[in-house]
Amino acid sequence: MLEIAQGRRISHRKRLWNERYIFLMLIPCLVWYTIFEYGPMYGVLMAFQKYRFNAGILGSEWIGLGNFQRLFISPEFIKALTNTLTISLTRLVVEFPVPIILAIMLTELRFVRCGKVFQTIFTLPHFLSWIILAQIFGSFLGSDGPLNSLIEVMGGQSVKFMTNPVLYRCFIHGSSIWKGAGWSSIMYMAVITNIDPTLYEAAILDGASRMQRIRYVTLPQLKEIAVVMLVLQVGRIMNGSFEQIFTTYNASVRSLADTLDTYIYRITFESAPDYSFSTAVGLFKSFINLILLIVADRTAKYISGSGLFGGDSK
């Protein structure tokens, strides 16, 4: 047994040495994560302190879970948490299926060149920042914008798209789909193009229609990647797409659009800064995301046999 163990160690060392250049390529990635991801985690200690800037982290008073107790007696935090969950859960229902549907539609086009043109058109918005899009949407949907001008020409009344809370919620999801669906569909299209053509040929021989081929061939092949993407999105439920909402919302819609991310920004930069409390909010958000990610992954493996790391938990 000792000889076998020694042989395995030698084999591992030899393999590491043979692949040393691949591991060297990982060094910049490890350095980046160490500096920008793991290094700042030292600041999490502020969530358990009454942080004072002049005393620093090591010199500030330790108050344990005092900041977390404040969370659930703060009406603004409860409202931001409710808005975050509502918006994120609606994203799962409304936005998540769109890239799958779009990928199927693009791959089912009879003319390949048309599919490539449409794919380019749908993908381009992903490369525009929300700062630019906020200006575009603000001008297009504003009171004097082209859309309201068209409505008035047709005899209607001007609609306040960006200040009506209900319409703003629709705008959040509509603009998110417009910006991200094309980019997200690329992964599903890659899976579809790699499906064994003989499966479709066998379905055609069995008399399956196009919709039946999509249902019984395409969708089952997309199940694994769809489950992984769903688990990852569940793990981001507590994130409210800060850039999108922060650049487009206003005081009129804050009651329905203020998420945990915008709430953290407001209590940190728009009022007397309370770094300990805002750090506690951020830590709470990350902890809940971690729990949801683990639960979603375990549930997906139990139901479908696939998850982030594959395998079957049954």
pLDDT in tens, 196-237: 889 988 999 888 888 999 999 999 999 888 988 888 899 889
pLDDT above 90 (res 61) = no
What confidence tier does 8 reach under pLDDT thresholds 50, 70, 90?
Answer: low
Q: How far apart are CA 199 and CA 222, in angstroms?
A: 14
**For the chain, first and last CA: distance in Å?**
32
Written as six digits, the tokens of 298 are 């375990």
Residue with the larger pLDDT of the pair 84 and 269: 84
- pLDDT tops 60 at residue 5: no
* Lookup: tokens for 131: 């700062």
Show the domains of the chain with their CATH numbers: 1-64 (no CATH), 74-304 (1.10.3720.10)
Predicted confidence at residue 150, as pLDDT, reads 87
Q: How far apart are CA 285 and CA 69, in angstroms?
A: 14
pLDDT score recorded for residue 310: 56
Please state, in angstroms and rounded to a whole number, the distance separating the CA atoms of residues 162 and 248: 8
Provide the pLDDT confidence category of residue 1 given band limits of 50, 70 and 90: low
Strand partners, 61: 50
pLDDT at residue 162 is higher than 50? yes
Q: Express each pLDDT in 33-51 by its tens digit.
A: 888 878 878 888 888 988 8
Q: Is the pLDDT of residue 10 over 80?
A: no
| Rounded Cα gap, residues 58 and 281, in angstroms | 20
Instruction: Give the range among 29-33, 132-136, 270-274 with minimum mean pLDDT.
Output: 270-274
C-beta separation of 261 from 240 below 8 A: yes
CA-closest candidate to residue 200, choices 223, 219, 227, 224: 219
Between residues 14 and 215, which one has the greater pLDDT? 215
| Mean pLDDT for all residues in the chain | 86
- Say how far apart CA 287 and CA 137 lie, in whole Å: 34
* 279-313 burial: b if 16+ Cβ within 10 Å, else e: bbbbbbbeebbeebbeebbeebbeeeebbbeeeee
- Cα 133 to chain centroid, rounded: 18
> Quick one: pLDDT at residue 311?
53
Query: How confident is the model at residue 183, as a pLDDT?
Result: 93
